[in-house]
Amino acid sequence: MTEHNEKKSELNNEIKQKIIFYSAMILTGLGFLYYFFGMTGARVGLGILFVSLPFYILLGAFSLSEGEVAVFSILAGFTLFSSVVYLLGLAISFRISILIAFAVLMGVAVVVRKVVGRKKVV
């Protein structure tokens, strides 16, 4: 029982360290964008982050390196997310279509992540 608790504690510490590291990276990047480009730059940075987030979660389920996941998620976010928003925007308001597309893609990413479960697929 003690070994199991130690492994769980190590895993929790590793997750906490990743959260702190990624948060520091994001805040540094947003601070840089805000300093040089003002509020517009910070909003663009947040937009890129939110657009690529569902694909980052989705691609993280496969055996790709972190760099590959980051680059592919940004590219997929720019192409697929904007395409889905545009198609939905033809029928409804674009602001609502952004929210619907984000919610649907996040739902798909979470479901695929649960089903695949970090298996060595690729």
- Helix (H) or strand (E) holding 12, with range, is helix 2-59
Q: What is the pLDDT of residue 119?
A: 53
> Minimal CA–CA distance to 99: which of 39, 45, 50?
50
Q: What percent of the chain has pLDDT over 90?
A: 59
Q: What is the pLDDT of residues 22-67, one digit of tens each?
A: 899 999 999 999 999 999 999 999 999 999 999 998 988 888 888 8
- pTM more than 0.85: no
